[in-house]
Amino acid sequence: MQAAPPGVLIANSSVSTGSLPTRQPSRPVPPTRGPGDPSGGTPDPPAPRRLPTPIRPGAVGPQDVALIVVSALSSFCLVWVVFYQLTSLTGGLGFLVCWYAGFLALTWFGTSQVIERQVATDRVAGILVWTAGLLIIGIVIFIVAWVTYKAVPSIHWSALFTKDQRTLAASDPNLLNHVGVLQAIVGTLEQVLMATLMGVPFAIATAVYLNEVGTGRTARLVRTVVTAMSGTPSIVAGVFIYSIFIFTGVLHYSGFAASLALVVILLPSVTRVVEEVLRVVPSGLREASLSLGAPEWRTVWSVVIPTARSGVVTAVLLGVARIVGETAPLIFTAFGSQVLNANPLVHDQGALPLVILSNTHAAQQVLIDIAFQAAFVLMSIVLILFVLARYFSRTKSKKSGRAQPTEDDMMARYFLPIPIERSPE
């Protein structure tokens, strides 16, 4: 490997300068690339197509890795000495935070010495956003794994989805054989479904008003109100429905009352996201539609919303995700029940968040197990909903049924190296 001239950084000099010269003498191949090239006058079998080794300019090279590893190690040692030996602080979290800060500082310092300051700043910024991304993945995996770990061993699959809690008695040693969370699953599904059916069309209509129809002062007022509404604490939404409908005797405690409270929460968040999504639909499409003689509602219905479809689906998913785990508004509205009640219009109804709420603090281990099982079921429902929604919202070419290439496919098409044809040797 040749030494780079001083002051010039060649990030992957090992690839770009080292591999090409060494390979050519080791395997004699004709210098031409085309198959069937007559070499020596006799028709040879087609020579294997040789492509140059692909390189990625700017890829992370050994020097970069070394810098980062050395920074991490020296920061660890330094902080360990300062933290535990000199100041005799304690606590793992504090140590981690100090280690990370020291790591960033050393990386910046080292890079700016070895390379230059611009690169150092760029690299530290890169490390920060990578950390954020990895941290999110870590947190999600941790939550999912933890709940699964706590819930699954105690689950009796035959009872979980088929039995409610009417025979719940904490002293029963075989409790989990005949107690499940059926009533809560049914309740949550019904409440969320009703809230979605009521809230989503309303939210989309409001977003269309804000983005396509409303102008000037009224639209601004509506937008402000929607924003303020999204700040409503969810317990207030519950109290609101309780005092308006239940306290006055218009409605019973019921799944329907719960779904009304959930609509109050769902509405503003879906509205705002859909509005943002509609805003990025190019205005040229609206003009094209209008200039074909389409009425405005047609333009929105047949051009704007289909164009924004996947974004609208995302908005709805975010809204559903927002309400599916809401607990506070259900306390005053669905009230919770240990008995299966499939009718959402009358009587108390169970809900998974309420099962979690009422069992997590129980003294008996078996009740705590039930809480974790409910959490596990809730997570699974959300996951299944998301996968289904994504599956059905894929943009498809209708006649041929061929999925439109995603952005990733396009990237892959352009950036993956061309597959090398293997010759039968």
Partner 1 sequence: MTTYATTPPPPVPEDVSGLGHNRGTDFSGEAGQIDADGVHAWFSGRLVLAGVTLTMEKSKVTALIGPSGCGKSTFLRILNRMHEVVPGAQLAGSVRLDGLDIYGPGQRAMETRRHIGMVFQKPNPFPAMTIAENVLAGLRFSRVSAGDKGDLVEASLTKAGLWKEVKDRLGELGGALSGGQQQRLCIARALAVKPRVLLMDEPCSALDPTSTLRIEETIKDIADEVTVVIVTHNMQQAQRVSDYCAFFLAEENLPGRVIEAGRTETIFGNPTDQRTFDYVNGQFG
Q: Which residue lies nearer to partner 1 by CB, 395 or 423?
A: 395
Q: Does residue 295 bind partner 1 (CB under 8 A)? A: yes
Q: Is 300 in the site for partner 1 (CB under 8 A)?
A: no
Q: In angstroms, what is the minimal distance from the CB of 410 to partner 1?
A: 12
d(C-alpha 320, C-alpha 269), whole Å: 10
How far apart are the C-alpha atoms of 380 and 248, rounded to whole Å? 37
**Looking at 27-35, 47-55, 246-254, 277-285, which segment touches partner 1 (CB under 8 A)?**
277-285
Coil, helix or strand for 50?
A: coil
- What is the separation, in whole angstroms, between the first and last Cα of the chain? 32
Please identify, using beta-carbon distances, which residue of 56 and 396 lies nearer to partner 1.
Answer: 396
Give residues with Cβ within 8 angstroms of 267, minimum separation 6.
199, 202, 203, 206, 226, 229
Task: Work out whether 288 is an interface residue with partner 1 (CB under 8 A).
Answer: yes
Q: At closest approach, how far in Å is the CB of 205 from partner 1?
A: 20
Give the one residue of 116, 287, 409, 421 binding partner 1; rule: CB under 8 A: 287
Give least dist CB 394 to partner 1, A.
12
290 belongs to the binding site for partner 1 (CB under 8 A)? yes
Q: How far apart are CA 277 and CA 115, in angstroms?
A: 42
Q: Which stretch binds partner 1 (CB under 8 A): 197-205, 228-236, 285-293, 321-329?
A: 285-293
CB of 159 to partner 1, least distance (A): 46
Q: Is 392 in the site for partner 1 (CB under 8 A)?
A: no
Stretch that binds partner 1, among 71-79, 185-193, 396-404, 407-415 (CB under 8 A): 396-404
Contact 272, 230 (CB under 8 A): yes
117 vs 298, which CB is nearer to partner 1? Answer: 298
Q: To the nearest whole angstrom, how small is the minimum distance from the Cβ of residue 399 to partner 1?
A: 3
Please state the closest distance from residue 247 (CB atom) to partner 1, in A. 46
Q: Does 293 interact with partner 1 (rule: CB under 8 A)?
A: yes
Shortest Cβ 158–partner 1 spacing (Å): 46
Burial tier of 185 (Cβ tally within 10 Å: 0-12, 13-18, 19+): buried
Of residues 205-224, those binding partner 1 (CB under 8 A): 215
**DSSP per position, 379-417:** HHHHHHHHHHHHHHHS-B-TTT-PBPPPHHHHHHHHHSP
Question: What contacts 24+ positions apart, CB below 8 Å, involve 351-355?
Answer: 351/184, 351/187, 351/188, 351/191, 351/258, 352/181, 352/184, 352/185, 352/187, 352/188, 352/377, 352/378, 352/381, 353/188, 353/325, 353/326, 353/327, 353/378, 354/184, 354/327, 354/330, 355/165, 355/181, 355/184
Task: Give me the least distance between CB of 326 and partner 1, in Å please.
Answer: 33
Q: Which range of residues in 355-363, 368-376, 391-399, 412-420 is near partner 1 by CB under 8 A?
A: 391-399
Asked if residues 266 and 322 have their Cβ atoms less than 8 Å apart, the reply is: yes
Query: 372 vs 10, 181, 265, 353, CA distance in Å?
Result: 54, 11, 25, 11
Site track for partner 1 across 305-334, x = CB under 8 A:
-xx-x-------------------------
Identify which of residues 304 and 377 has a Cβ nearer to partner 1 in the complex.
304
Q: Which of 218, 282, 390, 410 binds partner 1 (CB under 8 A)?
A: 282
> Per rule CB under 8 A, is residue 399 in the interface with partner 1?
yes
Residue 390 near partner 1 by CB under 8 A: no
The torsion region of residue 7 among left (phi > 0), alpha (psi -120 to 50) and beta comes to left
**Cα Rg for the chain, rounded, in angstroms?**
31
Instruction: For partner 1, give the closer residue by CB, 80 or 296.
Output: 296
- State the nearest-atom distance from the C-beta of 393 to partner 1, in Å: 12
Is 409 among the residues that bind partner 1 (CB under 8 A)? no
CA atoms of 180 and 374, how far apart (whole Å): 9
Footprint of partner 1 on this chain (CB under 8 A)? 215, 282, 284-285, 287-295, 298-299, 302-303, 306-307, 309, 395, 397-400, 402, 404
